[in-house]
Structure 1
């Protein structure tokens, strides 16, 4: 028997199954690259969209401070990365001489499609 070369039609349920399988597979492939920070703990990952701010360091018994400075680095498709996101750059941006606390913020779209990582310094 000869098979027809005509394209097969897919039901909406089959299309949804293929789409979800593809998204899960893409998420699993990108998870190693997506969790690229070097902190002691990581924020929960979001494969489609992620926006988290977490504390990295705070001096015991101290107030946060009156000034805030932020320094960011960005990555595009995991191929190009630009920016300076160090504590020194964040402190300079906020004219901070005495850093009392540091936060870490990450914004991510589609795994490694676009990633923005910021260091936020607080102090006086």
Structure 2
């Protein structure tokens, strides 16, 4: 089989999750190999996922946006969407950002409601 990867992937056995639909849907997975530009992810059963999702690896404390490159019933090959800039966002930071955005939106609605004239 012809390998088109630019970088060699190191073997891993890391528990992880994939998340999609604004991180409301998650599926447990196993990261079998990883490099700076991508990873191979395996699942205990066949999965159907979108072409873009988040890969979360709690043991390493980060989350990366990924694009699906290839699919098999119980495995995915993914490339990191942010492979060029090397940024890594810890999962707790991503959760805190989402919570703060929700609070901001709630406060904006409340200010708008209180600012409307009463007739």
Q: Is the TM value for this pair above 0.5? A: no
Which structure exhibits the higher relative contact order, with contacts defined as CA atoms closer than 8 Å and separated by 6 or more residues?
1
- Coarse TM-score class (shorter-chain normalised): under 0.3
Structure showing greater Rg: 1
